[in-house]
Protein backbone atom coordinates (compact mmCIF):
# COMPACT_ATOMS: atom_id res chain seq x y z
CA UNK A 1 0.00 0.00 0.00
CA UNK A 2 1.27 3.46 -0.96
CA UNK A 3 0.05 6.43 1.06
CA UNK A 4 -0.13 9.73 -0.84
CA UNK A 5 -0.30 12.71 1.52
CA UNK A 6 -1.63 16.15 0.64
CA UNK A 7 -4.12 14.44 -1.61
CA UNK A 8 -5.72 17.61 -3.00
CA UNK A 9 -2.38 18.99 -4.23
CA UNK A 10 -1.56 19.10 -7.93
CA UNK A 11 1.37 16.68 -7.65
CA UNK A 12 -0.51 14.27 -5.39
CA UNK A 13 -3.50 14.23 -7.74
CA UNK A 14 -1.33 13.39 -10.73
CA UNK A 15 0.66 10.81 -8.77
CA UNK A 16 -2.49 9.08 -7.52
CA UNK A 17 -3.67 8.73 -11.09
CA UNK A 18 -0.37 7.25 -12.24
CA UNK A 19 -0.21 4.74 -9.41
CA UNK A 20 -3.81 3.67 -10.02
CA UNK A 21 -3.25 3.30 -13.76
CA UNK A 22 -0.38 0.93 -13.01
CA UNK A 23 -2.43 -1.14 -10.57
CA UNK A 24 -0.69 -0.09 -7.37
CA UNK A 25 -2.66 -0.14 -4.13
CA UNK A 26 -3.13 3.51 -3.12
CA UNK A 27 -4.51 5.34 -0.10
CA UNK A 28 -4.92 9.11 -0.35
CA UNK A 29 -4.74 11.28 2.76
CA UNK A 30 -6.12 14.77 3.13
CA UNK A 31 -7.13 17.10 5.93
CA UNK A 32 -10.49 17.32 4.15
CA UNK A 33 -11.00 13.95 2.44
CA UNK A 34 -14.57 14.83 1.53
CA UNK A 35 -13.19 17.19 -1.11
CA UNK A 36 -11.04 14.51 -2.76
CA UNK A 37 -12.00 13.13 -6.16
CA UNK A 38 -9.73 10.09 -6.51
CA UNK A 39 -10.01 7.44 -9.23
CA UNK A 40 -12.66 4.76 -8.61
CA UNK A 41 -11.69 2.27 -5.92
CA UNK A 42 -9.00 4.43 -4.31
CA UNK A 43 -9.25 4.61 -0.53
CA UNK A 44 -9.30 8.02 1.13
CA UNK A 45 -8.47 8.79 4.75
CA UNK A 46 -8.37 11.83 7.05
CA UNK A 47 -4.73 12.91 7.36
CA UNK A 48 -3.72 16.33 8.60
CA UNK A 49 0.06 16.62 8.81
CA UNK A 50 -0.38 19.27 11.51
CA UNK A 51 -2.50 16.91 13.68
CA UNK A 52 -0.73 13.79 15.02
CA UNK A 53 -4.06 12.24 16.04
CA UNK A 54 -4.66 11.44 12.35
CA UNK A 55 -1.33 9.72 11.70
CA UNK A 56 -1.74 6.18 13.02
CA UNK A 57 -4.89 5.23 11.13
CA UNK A 58 -3.60 6.71 7.89
CA UNK A 59 -0.33 4.74 8.15
CA UNK A 60 -1.80 1.35 9.09
CA UNK A 61 -0.82 -1.25 6.50
CA UNK A 62 1.27 1.20 4.47
CA UNK A 63 4.60 0.21 2.93
CA UNK A 64 5.57 3.45 1.17
CA UNK A 65 4.69 7.11 1.69
CA UNK A 66 4.74 10.13 -0.60
CA UNK A 67 5.19 12.92 1.92
CA UNK A 68 4.62 16.64 1.60
CA UNK A 69 7.18 18.55 3.64
CA UNK A 70 5.11 19.80 6.57
CA UNK A 71 7.47 20.23 9.56
CA UNK A 72 4.95 20.90 12.34
CA UNK A 73 4.85 17.33 13.70
CA UNK A 74 7.32 15.52 11.47
CA UNK A 75 8.99 13.73 14.42
CA UNK A 76 5.65 12.23 15.44
CA UNK A 77 4.82 11.31 11.85
CA UNK A 78 8.12 9.49 11.38
CA UNK A 79 7.67 7.67 14.70
CA UNK A 80 4.20 6.50 13.65
CA UNK A 81 5.59 5.42 10.26
CA UNK A 82 8.26 3.32 11.97
CA UNK A 83 5.66 1.77 14.27
CA UNK A 84 3.43 0.97 11.29
CA UNK A 85 6.24 -0.82 9.46
CA UNK A 86 6.64 1.71 6.63
CA UNK A 87 9.68 0.76 4.55
CA UNK A 88 10.15 3.79 2.27
CA UNK A 89 9.33 7.51 2.41
CA UNK A 90 9.62 9.85 -0.58
CA UNK A 91 9.82 13.48 0.54
CA UNK A 92 8.65 16.27 -1.74
CA UNK A 93 11.16 18.91 -0.67
CA UNK A 94 12.62 21.92 -2.49
CA UNK A 95 15.90 22.85 -4.16
CA UNK A 96 15.97 25.86 -1.81
CA UNK A 97 17.50 23.58 0.85
CA UNK A 98 20.71 23.70 -1.21
CA UNK A 99 21.00 27.48 -0.89
CA UNK A 100 23.59 29.19 1.30
CA UNK A 101 20.98 30.39 3.80
CA UNK A 102 18.97 27.17 4.09
CA UNK A 103 19.22 27.01 7.88
CA UNK A 104 17.80 30.52 8.38
CA UNK A 105 15.56 30.89 5.32
CA UNK A 106 12.12 29.98 6.72
CA UNK A 107 10.89 28.24 3.57
CA UNK A 108 14.08 26.24 3.06
CA UNK A 109 14.48 25.34 6.73
CA UNK A 110 10.95 23.97 7.00
CA UNK A 111 11.76 21.52 4.20
CA UNK A 112 15.21 20.78 5.56
CA UNK A 113 13.73 19.87 8.94
CA UNK A 114 11.50 17.30 7.25
CA UNK A 115 14.40 15.88 5.23
CA UNK A 116 16.55 15.50 8.34
CA UNK A 117 13.79 13.86 10.38
CA UNK A 118 13.06 11.31 7.67
CA UNK A 119 16.74 10.58 7.02
CA UNK A 120 17.34 9.93 10.72
CA UNK A 121 14.67 7.20 10.84
CA UNK A 122 15.32 3.48 10.22
CA UNK A 123 13.35 3.76 6.98
CA UNK A 124 14.64 4.05 3.42
CA UNK A 125 14.23 7.63 2.21
CA UNK A 126 14.29 9.34 -1.17
CA UNK A 127 14.31 13.13 -1.51
CA UNK A 128 12.86 15.03 -4.46
CA UNK A 129 13.96 18.66 -4.68
CA UNK A 130 12.10 20.57 -7.38
CA UNK A 131 13.06 24.13 -8.14
CA UNK A 132 10.11 26.40 -8.94
CA UNK A 133 6.70 24.86 -9.53
CA UNK A 134 5.14 26.04 -12.78
CA UNK A 135 1.92 26.07 -10.78
CA UNK A 136 3.18 29.08 -8.82
CA UNK A 137 2.00 31.08 -11.82
CA UNK A 138 -1.51 30.29 -10.64
CA UNK A 139 -1.08 33.19 -8.21
CA UNK A 140 -1.44 35.48 -11.23
CA UNK A 141 -4.73 33.95 -12.35
CA UNK A 142 -7.07 36.35 -10.57
CA UNK A 143 -5.56 39.62 -11.83
CA UNK A 144 -5.18 38.17 -15.34
CA UNK A 145 -8.81 37.00 -15.47
CA UNK A 146 -10.02 40.32 -14.13
CA UNK A 147 -7.91 42.33 -16.57
CA UNK A 148 -5.78 43.87 -13.84
CA UNK A 149 -1.96 44.17 -13.89
CA UNK A 150 0.15 41.43 -12.34
CA UNK A 151 2.28 42.85 -9.53
CA UNK A 152 5.90 41.73 -9.66
CA UNK A 153 8.65 43.00 -7.34
CA UNK A 154 11.38 41.39 -9.49
CA UNK A 155 10.11 40.84 -13.05
CA UNK A 156 13.65 40.03 -14.18
CA UNK A 157 14.14 37.27 -11.60
CA UNK A 158 14.83 33.85 -13.08
CA UNK A 159 13.29 30.53 -12.10
CA UNK A 160 13.02 27.04 -13.59
CA UNK A 161 9.27 26.32 -13.77
CA UNK A 162 8.57 22.59 -13.61
CA UNK A 163 5.25 21.02 -14.55
CA UNK A 164 3.47 19.17 -11.74
CA UNK A 165 3.08 16.19 -14.08
CA UNK A 166 6.87 15.88 -14.33
CA UNK A 167 7.21 15.95 -10.54
CA UNK A 168 4.49 13.31 -10.24
CA UNK A 169 6.17 11.08 -12.82
CA UNK A 170 9.50 11.43 -11.03
CA UNK A 171 7.78 10.51 -7.75
CA UNK A 172 6.14 7.51 -9.43
CA UNK A 173 9.54 6.33 -10.66
CA UNK A 174 11.25 6.47 -7.29
CA UNK A 175 8.26 4.96 -5.48
CA UNK A 176 8.06 1.96 -7.78
CA UNK A 177 11.67 1.24 -8.83
CA UNK A 178 13.90 0.09 -5.93
CA UNK A 179 17.03 0.89 -7.95
CA UNK A 180 16.14 4.59 -7.88
CA UNK A 181 15.49 4.79 -4.14
CA UNK A 182 17.56 6.14 -1.24
CA UNK A 183 18.95 9.06 -3.25
CA UNK A 184 18.46 12.80 -3.47
CA UNK A 185 17.25 14.27 -6.77
CA UNK A 186 17.20 17.91 -7.87
CA UNK A 187 14.42 18.46 -10.41
CA UNK A 188 14.07 21.44 -12.72
CA UNK A 189 12.06 22.55 -15.69
CA UNK A 190 13.81 22.64 -19.07
CA UNK A 191 14.54 26.37 -19.18
CA UNK A 192 15.46 29.31 -17.00
CA UNK A 193 12.81 31.98 -17.46
CA UNK A 194 12.26 35.39 -15.93
CA UNK A 195 8.84 36.14 -14.50
CA UNK A 196 8.36 38.62 -17.33
CA UNK A 197 9.07 35.88 -19.87
CA UNK A 198 6.56 33.60 -18.18
CA UNK A 199 3.98 36.38 -18.37
CA UNK A 200 4.73 36.75 -22.11
CA UNK A 201 4.20 33.01 -22.63
CA UNK A 202 0.93 33.13 -20.69
CA UNK A 203 -0.16 36.09 -22.80
CA UNK A 204 0.52 34.10 -25.97
CA UNK A 205 -1.38 31.10 -24.61
CA UNK A 206 -4.52 33.03 -23.65
CA UNK A 207 -4.40 35.29 -26.69
CA UNK A 208 -4.56 38.65 -24.95
CA UNK A 209 -2.03 41.07 -23.43
CA UNK A 210 -1.10 40.93 -19.76
CA UNK A 211 0.14 44.08 -18.04
CA UNK A 212 2.92 43.89 -15.47
CA UNK A 213 3.12 46.40 -12.64
CA UNK A 214 6.55 46.45 -11.06
CA UNK A 215 6.11 47.08 -7.33
CA UNK A 216 8.46 47.37 -4.39
CA UNK A 217 8.98 44.32 -2.15
CA UNK A 218 7.04 46.03 0.64
CA UNK A 219 4.15 46.82 -1.69
CA UNK A 220 4.04 43.19 -2.83
CA UNK A 221 4.10 41.93 0.78
CA UNK A 222 1.19 44.19 1.66
CA UNK A 223 -0.77 43.04 -1.38
CA UNK A 224 -0.19 39.37 -0.52
CA UNK A 225 -0.56 39.65 3.26
CA UNK A 226 -3.86 37.75 3.31
CA UNK A 227 -2.39 34.84 1.35
CA UNK A 228 1.28 34.44 2.28
CA UNK A 229 2.61 34.64 5.87
CA UNK A 230 5.27 37.31 6.32
CA UNK A 231 8.08 34.82 7.00
CA UNK A 232 7.41 32.97 3.76
CA UNK A 233 6.97 36.22 1.85
CA UNK A 234 10.37 37.43 3.05
CA UNK A 235 11.96 34.14 2.03
CA UNK A 236 10.45 34.37 -1.45
CA UNK A 237 11.54 37.97 -1.88
CA UNK A 238 15.11 37.12 -0.85
CA UNK A 239 15.14 34.20 -3.30
CA UNK A 240 13.80 36.29 -6.16
CA UNK A 241 16.25 39.09 -5.45
CA UNK A 242 19.17 36.63 -5.51
CA UNK A 243 18.08 35.42 -8.96
CA UNK A 244 17.30 38.83 -10.42
CA UNK A 245 18.95 38.88 -13.84
CA UNK A 246 20.71 35.57 -13.14
CA UNK A 247 19.70 32.36 -14.95
CA UNK A 248 19.27 29.43 -12.60
CA UNK A 249 21.05 26.10 -12.93
CA UNK A 250 19.09 23.36 -14.70
CA UNK A 251 19.22 19.58 -14.39
CA UNK A 252 18.34 16.62 -16.62
CA UNK A 253 16.94 14.64 -13.70
CA UNK A 254 13.36 14.57 -14.97
CA UNK A 255 14.49 12.90 -18.17
CA UNK A 256 16.74 10.49 -16.26
CA UNK A 257 13.84 9.38 -14.06
CA UNK A 258 10.97 9.46 -16.53
CA UNK A 259 12.57 8.84 -19.92
CA UNK A 260 11.41 12.12 -21.45
CA UNK A 261 12.53 15.77 -21.24
CA UNK A 262 10.82 18.06 -18.77
CA UNK A 263 7.77 19.83 -20.16
CA UNK A 264 8.29 23.54 -20.99
CA UNK A 265 6.33 26.28 -19.27
CA UNK A 266 4.42 26.92 -22.51
CA UNK A 267 2.96 23.42 -22.17
CA UNK A 268 1.90 24.13 -18.59
CA UNK A 269 0.23 27.34 -19.77
CA UNK A 270 -1.74 25.46 -22.42
CA UNK A 271 -2.71 22.77 -19.89
CA UNK A 272 -4.10 25.44 -17.53
CA UNK A 273 -5.77 27.85 -19.95
CA UNK A 274 -9.07 27.62 -18.09
CA UNK A 275 -7.40 29.01 -14.97
CA UNK A 276 -6.61 32.28 -16.73
What would the pLDDT profile of 67-119 be if each residue is shown by its tens digit?
999 999 999 999 999 999 999 999 999 999 998 888 888 888 999 999 999 99
Q: How far apart are CA 259 and CA 206, in angstroms?
A: 30
- 273, part of any domain: no
- 141, part of any domain: no
- 177, part of any domain: no
- Say what the pLDDT of residue 104 is: 82
Q: How far apart are CA 170 and CA 254, in angstroms?
A: 6
- Of the candidates 209, 219, 216, 258, the one whose C-alpha atom is nearest the C-alpha of residue 241 is 216
| CATH code, domain with 56 | 3.40.50.720
- Of the candidates 178, 133, 165, the one whose C-alpha atom is nearest the C-alpha of residue 260 is 165
* pLDDT reading at 191 higher than 90: yes
Work out the average pLDDT over 17-44.
94
- 262, part of any domain: no
- Say what the pLDDT of residue 25 is: 96
- 50, part of any domain: yes
Range of the domain at 7: 2-130
Work out the average pLDDT over 201-220.
95
Work out the average pLDDT over 111-129.
97
Contact 59, 35 (CB under 8 A): no
Q: Domain total for the chain? A: 1
Q: How far apart are CA 161 and CA 130, in angstroms?
A: 9
What would the pLDDT profile of 44-69 be if each residue is shown by its tens digit?
999 999 999 999 999 999 999 999 99
Amino acid sequence: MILVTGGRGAVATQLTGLLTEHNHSVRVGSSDPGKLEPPPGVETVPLDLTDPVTFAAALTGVGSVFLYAEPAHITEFVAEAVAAGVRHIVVLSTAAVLGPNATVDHLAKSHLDVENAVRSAPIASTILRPGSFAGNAGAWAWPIKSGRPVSLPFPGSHNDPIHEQDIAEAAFAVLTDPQLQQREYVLSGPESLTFAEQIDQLSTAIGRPITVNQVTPDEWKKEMADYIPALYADALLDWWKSNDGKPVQLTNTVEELTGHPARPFATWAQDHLNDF
